[in-house]
Structure 1
Amino acid sequence: MTEESASLDPDELGAYFALIEVSSLLRHAVELQLKDAGDLSYVQFQLLATLGDSPAGSKRMTDLADGVVYSRSGLTHQAGLLEAAGLVTRAPSVDDERSVTVTITDAGRARLAAVFPGHIEVLKKMFLAPLRHDDVESLGRSLSLVRDHMRATPPRSAAPRRRRGR
């Protein structure tokens, strides 16, 4: 690796630091809003929103973990908390008995409906307010390119499990 390839130019470095800071500031505000409005963590909201957006309201745990880029064990814990709260159900998959399917309940949909107005308000106020419509379109295109490039490599939840003791 050359010194040139191991460094970033000022624009690249600035874009990276801006992305990190924006992401941190926005996530913090969203987490506060979700906790206040619905007693949900950020990951729990992602899970409920993903399930709520799914035509059947269900997804396999592995697919959920890949979608929200969360570890299998962490997702199992979060799904357990949501199930204990009556917001989702878990059952063996009809397609593969080794898999677990998570389904959003009516209470889960109601919780989503309760947090969405405030969630949208935070996004508009903190993230979208300083941008023009063409800025949003450009940002969306740029971030989609990066996301698609990153998604070309399987997410960590899809990586083979290591055997204990090795």
Structure 2
Amino acid sequence: MASWRAFLRAHATLVRVLETELVAEEQLSLAAYDVLVQLAEAPDRRLRMTELADAVLLSRSGVTRLVDRLEKIGLVARCPVESDGRGVAARLTDAGRNRLRVASRTHLAGVVRHFVNRLDADDLAALERISRRLTD
């Protein structure tokens, strides 16, 4: 249980710090940043809303509300799924891609400062191996 609690504490601490930095410097939540990343990496910069919910580990209603907010500020647009008349996808706009590019500097610098720089190469390799085992 000590390992489990330490893992949860480390995760919560890192997420809180990275979220605080993104909001302070880029006015973007970590969840919104994650949505932009997932869309940027998707084919044609778009994902069905259900795929997006699975990718960012939010509920469908949570993704819907977040996409609503991102759409209002022009970072994401909704579009129909061509192969499914009822399906809806989220698509990253050019403004969203530009915002992601700027926010990535803040986020990646934080990951390096608060995570990478605190571990040596052996620690990082072990953590990656363990994390992959847990998610397989």
TM-score, normalised via structure 2 length: 0.95
Aligned residue for 1:59? 47
Pairing of 1:79-158 with structure 2 (within 5 A): 79-148=67-136
Shift of 1:47: 0.4
Question: What is the aligned-residue RMSD (CA, Å)?
Answer: 1.1
For these two proteins, the number of residue pairs brought into alignment is 136
Q: Is the 8 A contact 1:87 1:105 kept in 2?
A: yes
Which runs of 5 or more structure 2 residues have no equivalent in the other structure?
none
Shift of 1:73: 0.7
Pairing of 1:5-16 with structure 2 (within 5 A): 13-16=1-4
- Partners of 1:38 and 1:97 lie apart in 2 by 36
- Secondary structure, counterpart of 1:98 in structure 2: strand
Q: Percent identity?
A: 34
Deviations 1:59-83 (A, max 9, x none): 1000010111111111100001000
The answer to which structure has the higher strand fraction is 2
The answer to which structure has the higher helix fraction is 2
Which runs of 5 or more structure 1 residues have no equivalent in the other structure?
1-12, 149-166
TM-score, normalised via structure 1 length: 0.78
Larger radius of gyration: 1
Amino acid of the residue matched to residue 94 of structure 2?
D
Shift of 1:98: 2.0
- Do structure 1's residue 46 and structure 2's residue 34 form an aligned pair? yes
Deviations 1:117-157 (A, max 9, x none): 11111111111112111211111111111122xxxxxxxxx
Aligned residue for 1:26? 14
